[in-house]
Structure 1
Amino acid sequence: MKTSPKPQSATSLPRAPREASDARNTKYLVMMVIRVICFILMAAITPYGWYTWLFAIGAVFLPYVAVVVANVGKESDVPEREVPDRQIAAEDQEVLPQDDTPLVITITESPMNPEDPSR
Structure 2
Amino acid sequence: MKSSTHAQSATSLPRAPRDDVSARSVRYLITMGVRVLCFVLMVVITPYGWYTWVFGAAAVFLPYIAVVFANVGSDGPESTAENPERALPAEPAPPAPSETDDRVIRLTETPRLDPPRERDVPE
Q: What is the TM-score with the length of structure 1 in the denominator?
A: 0.59
Amino acid at match of 1:52: T
Deviation for aligned residue 1:74: 3.2
* SS of the residue 1:47 aligns to: coil
Residue equivalent to 2:99: none
Q: Deviations over 1:21-72 (max 9, x none)?
A: 0000000000110000000000000001111111001100000000001001
Q: Whose helix fraction is larger, Structure 1's or Structure 2's?
A: 2
Residue correspondences, number: 79
Counterpart for residue 99 of structure 1: none
Structure ranking higher on relative contact order (CA contacts 8 Å, 6+ apart): 1
Aligned mates of 2:14, 2:74 — CA distance in 1: 12
Is residue 23 of structure 2 the alignment partner of residue 33 of structure 1?
no
List, as ranges, runs of 4+ consecutive aligned residues in structure 1 with deviation greater than 3 Å: none
Aligned to 2:80: 79
Say what the alpha-carbon RMSD is for the aligned residues: 2.5
Which consecutive unaligned segments of at least 5 residues does structure 2 have? 86-123
d(CA) in 1 for partners of 2:62 and 2:8? 42
- Find the residue that maps to 2:79 and give its secondary structure: coil
Tell me the TM-score normalised to structure 2 length: 0.57
Report the counterpart of residue 22 of structure 2 in structure 1: 22
Please tell me whether the aligned partners of residues 31 and 66 of structure 2 are also in contact (alpha carbons under 8 angstroms): yes
Q: Is the 8 A contact 1:32 1:63 kept in 2?
A: yes
